[in-house]
Amino acid sequence: MNQRFLLHLSIPFILISANAIFAQSTSSTELSEIKSQISQLEKKLASQNRKEAETLDLLDTIDRKMNVTKDYVSKLQKEIRGQERKVTRLKSRQDTLKANLAELKAGFSERLVSLYKRGRVTTLELLVDANSLQKIQVWAEYQRRLSENDQRKMQSIQEEQERLLGTQKQIGQEINKQQKMLTEKRQEETELSSDRQARKKMLADIRQDKKAYQQQLDDFQKAIEEIQRLIAASENEPTTSATSDMADFTPGTPFASLKGRLPWPAKGTILRPYGPYQHPVLKTITENLGLDIKVEAGTAVHTVADGKVTAVTWQRGRGNLIIINHSDGFYTVYTHLDEIMVNLQQTVSAGQIVGTVGETGSLDGPLLHFQVWNKFDHLDPVKWLK
């Protein structure tokens, strides 16, 4: 095989391998960081159990641990799918190498059979038949080239055999990695199932504890203050700045003109409307600054209008939360999310799925808590939805 051709083949393969190693390294680092978060939350949970911490403190830690574990399992599953694709590519390469090797061996065998049948012309025969020195020179050059060609073919066969062995070894290594990841994924899923059972039992206890409900209301108040702080941070940033949240965003339709025409963020029933209501356990009048929509876990959550994600965070009592800036001072807030499908500073379109409904931070099972804000004033979402 031509050495220049081999070089051209090897360069892209080296580049692809380097990129794969970099991607693998990045992914491994991300998995290690998530695993570290899980370990820290496990230590915190153990410490809280020893100290007999408040029930809602324990619930918040379990919710956080479950959330991080689900993220870890999801990324492990993605890694496993990547390993499966890699093994498939390697097996395809193995088949190609086997075919190349068979072709090289067949060609070399034909050459050996030809030599055996025809034999080599002896020097004496050549001298007897030669009419000139030129014929002798041509014969010598022919023999030299045949010898070099034979050597190249033998070298190509050896190289293909080495590549084949290397690929077979790599397939074995990748399959081992895949098996380890599958084992770890099963272990994490078992741990997640155990956490769910612990959470279920804890919720049953909390629902008999008025003190826990009062703590939840306090957590809601702190969550409101944090939401106002995040909105203030976005509002105080000059829109002309290159680093502004809204520097590269222009809404298709002004949010203010959409009042009464916004689509619902999720399909479900209203558990608690906006405004004051009597708490079912405490029997006190409490204000709900958003809309609680009861839905099945895993239900898709859609943004109600074009905007830009200006906050992705976790709040005690609210769990996973995102805030979307729709410009002109209007914001929508989505909480108790299970999975978040958008990134900070990402531009989103009306109707786009931004996450799924969960029960992170919720004492009422899976639900979506949805808020509408105009700068620092909370608005009745029902008046904005169609």
- For 309-344, the pLDDT digits (tens) are 999 999 988 999 999 999 999 999 999 999 999 999
Distance CA 105, CA 111 (A): 10
Domain segments of the chain: what residues? 3-206, 210-384
Higher per-residue pLDDT: 274 or 17: 274
Given a cut of 70, is residue 191 above it in pLDDT? Answer: yes
CB 199 within 8 A of CB 62: yes
Given a cut of 70, is residue 256 above it in pLDDT? Answer: yes
Instruction: Tell me the one-letter amino acid at 383.
Output: K
Neighbouring residues of 79: CB distance < 8 A, sequence distance ≥ 6:
27, 31, 181
Q: Count other Cβ atoms within 10 Å, centred on residue 357.
A: 26
Instruction: Tell me the one-letter amino acid at 259.
Output: K
pTM for the model stands at 0.61
Tokens of 164: 């084949």
At what angle are helices 210-235 and 55-118 packed, to 10 degrees? Answer: 60
Total residue length of the chain:
386
Distance CA 132, CA 232 (A): 100
Q: Which CATH superfamily is domain 210-384 in?
A: Glucose Permease (Domain IIA) (2.70.70.10)
Residue 65 DSSP code: H
246-248-250-256 Cα dihedral, nearest 10 degrees: 0
Given a cut of 60, is residue 127 above it in pLDDT? Answer: no
pLDDT computed for residue 15 by the predictor: 32
Distance CA 300, CA 280 (A): 28
pLDDT band at 50 (very low <50, low <70, confident <90, very high): low
pLDDT computed for residue 47 by the predictor: 67
pLDDT computed for residue 25 by the predictor: 47
DSSP reduced 3-state for 127: helix
Q: What is the CATH number of domain 3-206?
A: 1.10.287
Neighbouring residues of 244: CB distance < 8 A, sequence distance ≥ 6:
237, 238
Can you tell me the mean pLDDT for 354-374?
A: 93
**Residue in 352, 349, 332, 330 with CA at minimum distance from that of residue 341:** 352
Least confident of 106-110, 191-195, 296-300, 372-376: 106-110
Higher per-residue pLDDT: 363 or 147: 363
CA distance readout (Å), 161 to 97, 100, 343: 8, 10, 47
Can you tell me the mean pLDDT for 123-143?
A: 57
Report the alpha-carbon angle 102-108-114, nearest 5: 135
